[in-house]
Amino acid sequence: MSAKTDDLKIPRHIAIIMDGNGRWAKERGLPRTEGHRRGADSVEAIVEGCGEVGVEFLTLYAFSTENWKRPKIEVSALMKMLEHFLKIKMPKLMEQNVRLQAIGRLHDLPERTQKQLHKTIEATSQNSGLTLILALSYGAREEIIDGIRSLVESVEQGHLDKGMVTADVFSKHLYTRYFPDPDLLIRTSGEMRISNFLLWQLSYTEFYITQTLWPDFRKPQLVEAIREFSRRDRRFGGVG
């Protein structure tokens, strides 16, 4: 991919709302689970692509707090698929020097899924390449509420004076406190909303919306998104 991206400005952190698995399957007369399986293939391709071009952080919106409302059979299949992916792809992550992290209310995940997630995170913890962040049982409003609770607790315990609270201080109480804010948000399937994803962190993020459904989003589509990002003039509220 390097020949296609040598002239591009590479985002340090890309976040992706992976949308369209169900629609992809429906258009082909297939069960929704098949769309999710093909979506997992796209995850593998995009992780590899981001590593190749030098992206440092990749956050994938894998399972939202709202997704628990889906039919139990679909949720169960998604959890088993996640568990399988984390186990089977661990050697590939090691080979690609990818460090796995996760954000969200992880305690809500099934115990077996939690165990495999923590096992893969631990196994890849010393890797120094791309940091892959899975947003699981994640909701941005929930994250902000949890952040407020953490902040209030710090003030009540005397670790922080309320007069010292700033945006930067609050950011250190969010799930994403160890990561930079995304430079580029990609949303597949053409939907024009952020769906309770990284509401605080996306303040100055560039958005890229594509009609491509997630199972069809691969390296060429990633390059096009980065190419569009390279054309943007990011002024962060200043004068260009």
Domain containing residue 112: CATH number: 3.40.1180.10
- What domain range is 98 assigned to? 10-140+181-229
CA-closest candidate to residue 50, choices 231, 233, 221, 175: 221
AA identity, residue 23? R
CB of 130 closer than 8 Å to CB of 57: yes
Measured CA distances, 156 to 146, 149, 150 (Å): 15, 10, 10
Please state the rounded mean pLDDT for residues 50-65: 98
Q: Is residue 2 part of a domain?
A: no
State the total domains in the chain.
Answer: 1
Q: Is residue 29 part of a domain?
A: yes
Catalytic residues: 19, 67
Model pLDDT, residue 4:
66
**Over the stretch 66-104, which tens digit does the pLDDT of each residue have?**
999 999 999 999 999 999 999 999 999 999 999 999 999
Q: Is residue 55 part of a domain?
A: yes
Q: Is residue 159 part of a domain?
A: no
Copy the structure tokens of residue 4.
């296609």
Q: Is residue 149 part of a domain?
A: no
Model pLDDT, residue 7:
86
List Cβ<8 Å contacts ≥24 apart for 198-202: 198/15, 198/59, 198/135, 198/140, 199/140, 199/141, 199/144, 200/140, 200/143, 200/144, 200/147, 200/170, 200/171, 200/174, 201/15, 201/174, 201/176, 202/15
Q: Is residue 70 part of a domain?
A: yes
pTM score of the predicted model: 0.94
Q: Is residue 152 part of a domain?
A: no
Copy the structure tokens of residue 216.
């069809």
